Structure 1
Amino acid sequence: MFSLSLKEIKFFKLRYILIGFILFFVAALVFIISGLANGLANDNASSMKNMNAVSYYVSKDSDNRMDRSRFTATDVEKIKTNDAQPLGIQMMTLKDKESKEKLDVTLMGINPSQFLMPTVVDGKTISNTSNNDVVVDKTLEKQGAKIGDKLYAENSKTTLTIVGFTEDQTYSHTPTVIMNTDTWYKIFGGKENAGFNAIALKNDNATTKADVKNAVADGKFVPKQDLIDTIPGYSAEQSSLMMMLAFLIVIAVFVLGAFFYIMTIQKVNQFGILKAIGAKNKFLIGSTMLQVLVLSVVSIGLAIGFAFVLQQIMPNGIPFVFDFALILKFGGALLVVSLLGALFSTTSIVKADPLQAMGRAE
């Protein structure tokens, strides 16, 4: 069976190459959109995704949105456990004192000695006693920022100094500027006026939750993913791209099904003659499905390689993330779709009449 399938592919090279190209381009498009969806999700919420927290405590009336939640500094100071830390998030425009360029960023106020502090990949980290020092995401470096640069917050007339860079720390498509709570208070009008948006929990331990609940009233615990989904634009972006992927896969079913059906119709006479010399429906169907399997595996494999290479040469400004596990899932879905499309065409094999085929042969 395998030998017969490969011999036919080799004999009708152009026909199978054209079908393979169609499957390749459909698969490549699925993988590219998947990479863009993953990249946009990462660019919109990587700071939250990579944060060492499993859930958050936010205001009851916040609709699970971080920007609508607020707790006072006095409230959060009552929390005794180290497994729960205050988190302040606020989008703002800062000015680079050297270049005079305005930068859209997200300020993030945390306790840098605790679990919320991300890894610094270049420069040095900050501490609770750092005087207006900040660690920023690497995307600011691509915009020309460097260690030692001064960022100016006009609303509070505060100058911030970049001392280090971190990676994958963006929020709502803006780089984060991470500072200690003292600097956070300076920017937002002092300790009596500045508040925090949420309390991050390192674990879902009942004791940790009880301590937070007793210290800060009128709040609720929200899983990390639920809070990520409410970041402005996040759900809309992801649902739109996922719908495009779903339509692509549905289109692939009909396109591939039509091609395999036409290809099978063209070989009805051959199937009839093979039946006349003893070939069974099971053998012929198996041979056809094996051809589709080989064609699909090769085409999808090449498309995965193409998506991987594309990530390497794609400009830095385009958010594209090659998630191999996710790509394999979509590749498996396309393989199943290809086999289902081919299975639909096998009805022609079953209906092939040996006597009619031999008559045609005459």
Structure 2
Amino acid sequence: MKLALEEIKYNKGKYFMITFIIMLISWLVFLLTGLGNGLNTLNAATIKNINGNYLVFEKDSENKFTKSTISGTQIEKIKKLKNVDDATFLGSSMSSVSNEKGNKKTDITIVGITNNSFIAPKVVEGTINQTNDKRVIVDKSLEKNGYKVGDHIKISGLKKVLIVGGFTENNTFNHLPTVWLPLNLWQEIRYAAPGSDDGNSDPVNAFVLQTNSDFKVSKLTGDLSNLKVVTREDAVQAMPGYAEENGTIVLMLVFLIAISAIIIGVFFYILTMQKINQFGILKAMGAKNKYISRIVVSQVALITIVGVVLGVGFTYAVAAILPKGMPFDLNNTTVILYGIGIILISLFTTIFSVKQVVKVDPLIALGRVE
């Protein structure tokens, strides 16, 4: 390691450029990951953060809210299922909101729940009275559209004027801010057209379950012929465009990391080939292949670690100045896993460099024989 450090100090410019390139590669990986996670969160935050383990949909709905309509009267038999602690109603649909005068409509997702439901979002600003069906909870992202606590608002399809009772955070659905309505008001909007409820009484899109650790879908018994119980993760994956969007982002990252591995490998290979004569001298002085290989690996590890750490810092610095409405979500676990991945890939690419070191003949490297 000492010899590796001495060489880095001696060739500061060369190693600085390599470190800088690794930093940019790391930054690009982390930035795309954060933006990709941000888009995914924007699409499904409401369901991801919901206080429930499982959801119940109509059997042939493909776990999609838009295709599922079930009778609310069936919730009683759901509550009686073994290891189910509680169950509640959930409805969602697209709409738009405007101020009381009807100016400047904003696209939203409306979510219908019952009073005092365990899936009601946490209010971070304002207060909400569950018995007052005029006061509703809205996502804080609507603030940028000029809405504030106490404002009177109108939702398309609803005659009643509502009041913004409080704001909640990280509650978006289908890339739109959510407005949480009492279930009866949501039903009034969603099933306004005759026959849209498919003949179901007290219709909703789904039930949300709170279960204990012994609950297993495979062990469910009872009359569930027209219903399907799925995990919250399955419900998220079934959301329109979610899997495709996530797959595109993952594919981009895979190609980016693969290309990065090639670039890093080529850089270190060229760097190693430039030092063949030096390695030949070390071998002539009695240095073993193992010792020289450790020098190469130590340099790669040190440069990559520094580059990744700088890349992480640069990513968070850029994230701090991103426009407020731009979705960005990068957690520490993801940073650590991707950082370790980049370091391991860099170390893996040293295999080709080390193979050249092992092949070095001291006499040929010193130019004594042809």
The TM-score bracket by the shorter chain reads over 0.9
8 Å CA contact 2:113–2:183 kept in 1: the answer is yes
SS state of the match for residue 139, structure 1? helix
**1:312 paired to 2:320:** yes
- Which of residues 340, 345, 351 in structure 1 aligns to 2:359? 351
**1:38 paired to 2:37:** yes
8 Å CA contact 2:90–2:204 kept in 1: the answer is yes
What is residue 14 of structure 1 aligned with on the other side?
13
8 Å CA contact 1:169–1:175 kept in 2: the answer is yes
SS state of the match for residue 229, structure 2? strand
8 Å CA contact 1:158–1:187 kept in 2: the answer is no
What is residue 184 of structure 2 aligned with on the other side?
182
Partners of 2:56 and 2:221 in 1: CA distance: 9
1:299 to 1:197, Cα distance in 2 relative to 1, 3 A: same
What is residue 25 of structure 2 aligned with on the other side?
26
What is residue 269 of structure 1 aligned with on the other side?
277
- Which of residues 109, 129, 154 in structure 2 aligns to 1:106? 109
SS state of the match for residue 14, structure 2? helix
Deviation at 1:169, TM superposition (A): 0.6
SS state of the match for residue 124, structure 2? strand
Deviation at 1:156, TM superposition (A): 3.3
What is residue 65 of structure 2 aligned with on the other side?
66
Partners of 1:197 and 1:337 in 2: CA distance: 46
Partners of 2:368 and 2:305 in 1: CA distance: 35
Deviation at 1:213, TM superposition (A): 7.7
1:80 to 1:54, Cα distance in 2 relative to 1, 3 A: closer
Letter in structure 1 aligned against 2:40:
A
Partners of 1:213 and 1:154 in 2: CA distance: 41
User: Paired residues, what number?
Assistant: 358
What is residue 92 of structure 1 aligned with on the other side?
95
- Which of residues 162, 165, 179 in structure 1 aligns to 2:164? 162
Partners of 1:105 and 1:181 in 2: CA distance: 16
What is residue 149 of structure 1 aligned with on the other side?
151
Partners of 2:165 and 2:288 in 1: CA distance: 74
Partners of 2:221 and 2:206 in 1: CA distance: 12
Pairing 1:193-272 to 2, within 5 Å after superposition: 195-203=203-211, 218-272=226-280
Deviation at 1:183, TM superposition (A): 2.5
Deviation at 1:209, TM superposition (A): 7.9
Partners of 1:187 and 1:134 in 2: CA distance: 15
Letter in structure 1 aligned against 2:139:
D
SS state of the match for residue 279, structure 1? coil
**How high is the sequence identity, in percent, across the aligned residues?**
37
What is residue 51 of structure 2 aligned with on the other side?
52
Letter in structure 2 aligned against 1:152:
K
Partners of 1:184 and 1:96 in 2: CA distance: 18
Q: Deviation string for 1:138-172 (max 9, x for gaps)?
A: 00112110112222234232322111100111101
SS state of the match for residue 94, structure 2? strand
1:124 to 1:199, Cα distance in 2 relative to 1, 3 A: same
Letter in structure 1 aligned against 2:70:
F
Q: Deviation string for 1:150-203 (max 9, x for gaps)?
A: 222342323221111001111011111112223324434589876211000011
Q: Deviation string for 1:298-322 (max 9, x for gaps)?
A: 0000001111112211111110112
Partners of 1:98 and 1:345 in 2: CA distance: 70
Pairing 1:282-361 to 2, within 5 Å after superposition: 282-359=290-367
Letter in structure 2 aligned against 1:304:
V
SS state of the match for residue 111, structure 2? strand
8 Å CA contact 1:126–1:179 kept in 2: the answer is no
TM-score, length-scaled by structure 1: 0.92
**1:132 paired to 2:134:** yes
Letter in structure 2 aligned against 1:176:
T
Partners of 2:355 and 2:336 in 1: CA distance: 30
1:144 to 1:193, Cα distance in 2 relative to 1, 3 A: farther
SS state of the match for residue 105, structure 1? strand
Deviation at 1:78, TM superposition (A): 6.3
8 Å CA contact 1:311–1:321 kept in 2: the answer is no
Partners of 2:353 and 2:132 in 1: CA distance: 70
Partners of 2:229 and 2:79 in 1: CA distance: 17
Q: Name the stretch that deviates more: 145-154 or 15-24.
A: 145-154
TM-score, length-scaled by structure 2: 0.90
Partners of 1:182 and 1:195 in 2: CA distance: 10
8 Å CA contact 2:110–2:179 kept in 1: the answer is yes
> What value does the CA root-mean-square deviation take over the aligned residues?
2.4
Letter in structure 2 aligned against 1:136:
V
1:265 to 1:19, Cα distance in 2 relative to 1, 3 A: same
